[in-house]
Structures are given as structure tokens and as C-alpha cells.
Amino acid sequence: MRISLQREAGTERLPVYRQIAEQIRSEIEAERLAAGERLPTIRDLARSLRVHRDTVALAYEELASAGVVESTVGRGTFVRANGKTNGATPHEFHPELSPIAEKLLDLERSRPRFGSAGEAVPMHSLVPAPSLYPADAFRRVLNRVLTEGGAPLFQYGGTQGHPRMLEVMAAHLRKAGIEIGADGIILCHGASQGISLALRLFAASGDVIAAEEPTYQNVLSAAAGLGLRTAPIPMREDGLDLAVLERTLARPEVKALYTLPTFHNPIGTTSSLEHRRALLAIAARCGKPVIEDGYEADLRFAGKPVPALAALDRSGLVIHLSSFSKSLFPGVRIGAIAARGRAVDALLALKAASDLSDAMPLQAALAEFLAAGEYDRHLARLRRVLLERRDAVLAALAEHLPAGARWTTPEGGYQIWVELPEGIDTRDLLADAVGAGVLFAPGSQFNHDGRASRCLRLSFAMADAALLRRGVAALGRVLEARLGAAARPAAVHI
């Protein structure tokens, strides 16, 4: 079998693993490799081609999924009997995908897989459990709105969003101290679309966005999906590192800061008023805009509110993102961007170029749901539940986690950040944890480069207090087994 690789960079060449797969495929089609014949081992082929073994493994995987070869553990990889590419499967055209699509596929492969975790307590995800949703109340409002609004609600609704929801959203933000009118709001398809739009507003392929590390993992994939790079700003006790921020924003290729000052994801903490003022002063000095993600802003259940960055800014420095995915339910797919000046027009143009407009029936219903006070009533209930859950998790952590573990005490939102002793890679704990009965989010997925982390994020979005206690106890057992130490912690809070 002869394989020759084009290795020099260039947009025209196929990825190396695809080159290998394509050439093996040709050998089979030309019947130079017969059905039943064994391919070289991954190790041998990697050595002879001077490529990494993962590259060969990927090539074999692609051939296997196309039905051209099959692998048997311990025996090797064999050409299939009907191993013609147009035999088993008719999909012989493999278009070259954009580098961004390839990058996203790589990212996707590196995400933790929870599989069917069965009975394990779900503490890995920030998606609130359906039992918390006011689904029936919302359904009734939606049905009423559609009965009254009729067919025109099924029109395109204008790129900015449903007029009444724009008004209601602006009033909602003003109550939180963000001075904005309906003309400064762009409704969007979840805060996740808001993130994509805000990134594209300031940055184009090759540019850099500053963001905390750790940070919301989907911001990293959103940036990758736009061909952007990210610059990590380390998190400190009180918010991101301001000195690193100033150095980073001063770089011309860095176009904006993405930040989660309130109920930070994954850390759970909220930066102080003083820190926020300093952050805004730095951004203003560097002339760089700030994208503030207020995705859990409505979920404060303890402590005193700290004004949003957007509430402290009158200059148009801050783009503020809101979401109802965490505070109501994700399925309504409504988020909002609050902006000023030309940014509003540009965001509308970007939104129009992305998907024209959103679904008006859901926006119209959400507007009524808020205006009728249903949302506030729901929030009041939800906050009580969350406070109880947080306290259950904190108590269980103090009881079950070994010495040397530390964790945060959030005043809102769903997530607690746990730091374990040096030397642990929390990815390595995941399989044991699933076995012991708990799921968590390993810290590595929140690092810009995906490197190992001794931290993990626990969420109380999905399970109730009793289950959460059981989950933390399971985590404690896994850690004790791993650390070989049953010492109780000194409950040092970060």
C-alpha cells in the first residue's frame, strides 16, 4: 500500500487524515487491497508515514463509518467484503469543509460524553429541570395571545423583535438600573445567538476577543465558529485580573472583552462594584467595548445586588446580553441585546443576515407573561428553591469533600466551582463519578485551550436538594478513593 502525503500548509490540501483515508479507499476501489485483507496497525502506519497515531486512527475511523473497513478489537482493521465505496454506502463525495467547520468538529470531539449516565445525579449542566418551568401558565398565555393576535403573529415580525416585547424588555432592564429604551433592544434567538451577534459586531476572522478563564464553554466554540481567537484573562477572587485585562485590551488585534461579571460561569461569583468601575475605566482607556453576559441576572437569591456593567455605563461602552433560558426555560429561545448608537443598527443588519427575524408568537407570549407579573411570581418561587438547593450543596460539600478542597458560595444562579488539591485532572474523575452516581462538568472544558484543570463545576439546576446531597456524597467517595485520604476539609471558601 503506497500513501503519499501533501504536508505543506495551504488552503487547497485535504487534512492529512483525509488524505490517508482517500488513498486507502482508492486502493480498495482499484482492488489493490482485497476484501478481508488486513490494514497495517495504526502504530505501524503512523510510524511509516511519520504522522501522529491519532491521525491514522481518525482515517481508519472514517473508513469504518463509511463501511469500507471494519475493526475488531485485538485483531485489527480489515477491508470489508462489500468494501466498495459505492457498495455499502453511496456517499462517495466528501466535500472539503471550511477550516472553521473542521475546528468545530474537533472541539465537539473533545467534549465530555456523559452517555446514558443512568441514575447518576445530574450536576453537570446549567439547564434548569422541566419541573421548575411554569409551562402551563405560559401555554395559556401563548394560546390567548395567538387567539387574539391571530394570523399577523405568524408574519415575519421585523428583525428587532415584537414591539410589545421590546417595550417590556426595556422596562425589565430599567428596573435593574440599565437605562435603555425599546429602541436600544434587539431580541434574539437565545443569549447564545446574542453572543454570536455581539462577537461579529466587533471582530472578524483572525481578530481576538478577550474573555475570562475559565469561561462559558460555548463562547469559546462561538468564537471558533467565527474564526476568532480568544485571549484568556485569569479569574481572581474578585472578578477577572485587571492588570492582565489592561495589557490584553491594549493589543490592537483584541477587539472586545466578553465578560460574565454576575454569577460567573463556571465560577458562580459576582464581582464587586469597585471592580466593575475599574474594569469600565480600563475598557474606556483602551477604547475597547465590553460584551456583558447577564444570562443569570434575574436569579439572585441572596446578598445585595451589584449594578450591571451596563447600568454603570452611559457612554455606549457596554453591550448587555440577557436570557430567559436560565430564569424561565430554554425552549422559548428568547434572549435580548441592549446596545446604543450605531451598534444597534449594525446588530440588526447582522441579525437580518443571519436569520431575518424570530418567532413572533413566542415573543408576544413572553411579553404578556412578563407584563402580567407571571414571570416575577415564577422568579420568586425559583429563587427560594435555588437558595435551598445551594445550601444543601454547600452543607454536603463541607461534610463529604476531603481536606484541601475549596469551593465558591454563589448568591445567585446555578453553579458552584470546586477546586481540588494539586495534581488532579478532573477529567480523570468523570468515569468513576458516573459509576458512583454523580455527573459534573470538568474544569478543562472552560479553559480556552482545553488544558487539564483540578477544578470542576457543580450545578444545582437539575436535581432537588435530596438528590444533590446524594450526588455530593458520591463525589466525596470518588475523591476519597482517588486521594486515599478521608480527612474532612477545613471548609475554606474561596
Residues 165-194 that bind a copy of itself (CB under 8 A): 174-177, 179, 189-190, 192-193
Is residue 307 part of the contact set for a copy of itself (CB under 8 A)?
Answer: yes
Residues written for the chain: 494
Stretch that binds a copy of itself, among 57-65, 402-410, 451-459, 468-476 (CB under 8 A): 57-65
Helix (H) or strand (E) holding 230: strand 229-234
370/373 Cα distance (integer angstroms) = 5
Closest listed residue to residue 364, CA positions, set 169, 221, 78, 86:
169
Would the CA dihedral through 274, 278, 279, 281 be positive or negative? positive
Q: Cβ of residue 59: shortest distance to a copy of itself, in angstroms?
A: 11
**Helix, coil or strand: residue 441:** strand
* Residue at 428: amino acid letter: D
- Per the DSSP assignment, residues forming a β-bridge with 44 are none
125/375 Cα distance (integer angstroms) = 23
Q: Which contacts qualify for 142-148: CB closer than 8 Å, 24 or more apart?
A: 142/361, 142/362, 142/365, 144/368, 145/361, 145/364, 145/365, 145/368, 146/361, 146/365
Is residue 387 part of the contact set for a copy of itself (CB under 8 A)?
Answer: no
Residues 424-463 that bind a copy of itself (CB under 8 A): none
Instruction: Choose between 5 and 104: whose C-beta lies nearer to a copy of itself.
Output: 104
Closest listed residue to residue 328, CA positions, set 336, 320, 337:
336
Q: Cβ of residue 66: shortest distance to a copy of itself, in angstroms?
A: 6
Instruction: Choose between 407 and 414: whose C-beta lies nearer to a copy of itself.
Output: 414
Is residue 289 part of the contact set for a copy of itself (CB under 8 A)?
Answer: yes
Would the CA dihedral through 51, 55, 61, 67 be positive or negative? negative
344/329 Cα distance (integer angstroms) = 26
Q: Cβ of residue 37: shortest distance to a copy of itself, in angstroms?
A: 22
Q: Cβ of residue 373: shortest distance to a copy of itself, in angstroms?
A: 8
Q: How far is CA 169 from CA 81, 172, 252, 253, 428, in A?
A: 62, 5, 34, 34, 43
Is residue 14 part of the contact set for a copy of itself (CB under 8 A)?
Answer: yes
Of 35, 204, 452, 486, the residue at the interface with a copy of itself (CB under 8 A) is 204
Instruction: Choose between 100 and 182: whose C-beta lies nearer to a copy of itself.
Output: 100
Q: Cβ of residue 182: shortest distance to a copy of itself, in angstroms?
A: 16
Of 182, 278, 284, 483, the residue at the interface with a copy of itself (CB under 8 A) is 284
Is residue 218 part of the contact set for a copy of itself (CB under 8 A)?
Answer: yes
Stretch that binds a copy of itself, among 243-251, 375-383, 421-429, 465-473 (CB under 8 A): 375-383
Assigned C-alpha cell, 204: 472578524
Instruction: Choose between 350 and 472: whose C-beta lies nearer to a copy of itself.
Output: 350
Enumerate the H helices of 150-227 as residue ranges.
163-175, 190-202, 217-225
Residues 85-114 that bind a copy of itself (CB under 8 A): 90-102, 104-105, 107-108
Of 24, 60, 123, 138, the residue at the interface with a copy of itself (CB under 8 A) is 138
* Cβ contact 249:257 at 8 Å: yes
Of 81, 87, 154, 302, the residue at the interface with a copy of itself (CB under 8 A) is 154
Instruction: Choose between 361 and 404: whose C-beta lies nearer to a copy of itself.
Output: 361
Of 80, 124, 164, 200, the residue at the interface with a copy of itself (CB under 8 A) is 200
Is residue 11 part of the contact set for a copy of itself (CB under 8 A)?
Answer: yes
Instruction: Burial-class residue 346 by CB neighbours within 10 Å (0-12, 13-18, 19+).
Output: middle
Instruction: Burial-class residue 68 by CB neighbours within 10 Å (0-12, 13-18, 19+).
Output: buried
**Helix, coil or strand: residue 475:** helix
Instruction: Choose between 121 and 365: whose C-beta lies nearer to a copy of itself.
Output: 365
Closest listed residue to residue 222, CA positions, set 246, 248, 201:
201
Instruction: Choose between 230 and 325: whose C-beta lies nearer to a copy of itself.
Output: 325
What is the C-alpha radius of gyration for the chain, rounded to an integer number of angstroms?
A: 26
* Cβ contact 21:62 at 8 Å: yes
Is residue 119 part of the contact set for a copy of itself (CB under 8 A)?
Answer: no
Of 74, 115, 206, 423, the residue at the interface with a copy of itself (CB under 8 A) is 206
Of 163, 221, 385, 421, the residue at the interface with a copy of itself (CB under 8 A) is 221
Instruction: Choose between 193 and 408: whose C-beta lies nearer to a copy of itself.
Output: 193
Of 358, 368, 374, 419, the residue at the interface with a copy of itself (CB under 8 A) is 358
Binding map of a copy of itself across residues 323-352, x = CB under 8 A, - = no contact: --x---xxxxx------xxxx-xx-xxx-x
DSSP state of 37: P
Is residue 65 part of the contact set for a copy of itself (CB under 8 A)?
Answer: yes
Q: Could you tell me how many residues of this chain bind a copy of itself (CB under 8 A)?
A: 119
Instruction: Burial-class residue 298 by CB neighbours within 10 Å (0-12, 13-18, 19+).
Output: buried
Is residue 115 part of the contact set for a copy of itself (CB under 8 A)?
Answer: no
